[in-house]
Amino acid sequence: MPNPLLSQADLPAFDLIRPEHIEPAISGLLAANRARIDELAETSQPTFANVVEPFEELGHCLGRAW
């Protein structure tokens, strides 16, 4: 079964979330966010749209899982 903390549904499936889902979900999201931040840092012509907005989305994904 996929990790319910990583679902993109409107609301999390609270009845399916177990303590053992937390560590893999958060660790995976942090690793993915670090990789994406490294990519964003290499942007040659940073703008609000191509750096700030994607960066904000990373925070939203992590916050949603947490």
For 6-57, write each residue's pLDDT tens digit.
998 888 889 999 999 999 999 999 999 999 999 999 999 999 999 999 999 9
Domain assignment of residue 65, yes or no: yes
Q: What is the pLDDT of residue 10?
A: 84
Q: What is the pLDDT of residue 39?
A: 97
Q: Are 59 and 29 in contact (CB under 8 A)?
A: no
Domain assignment of residue 17, yes or no: no
Q: Are 44 and 35 in contact (CB under 8 A)?
A: no
The structure's pTM equals 0.85
Q: What is the pLDDT of residue 33?
A: 97
Domain assignment of residue 12, yes or no: no
Domain assignment of residue 14, yes or no: no
Domain assignment of residue 1, yes or no: no
Q: In residues, how long is the chain?
A: 66
Domain count, the chain: 1
Q: What is the pLDDT of residue 36?
A: 97
Give the domain extent around 42.
22-66
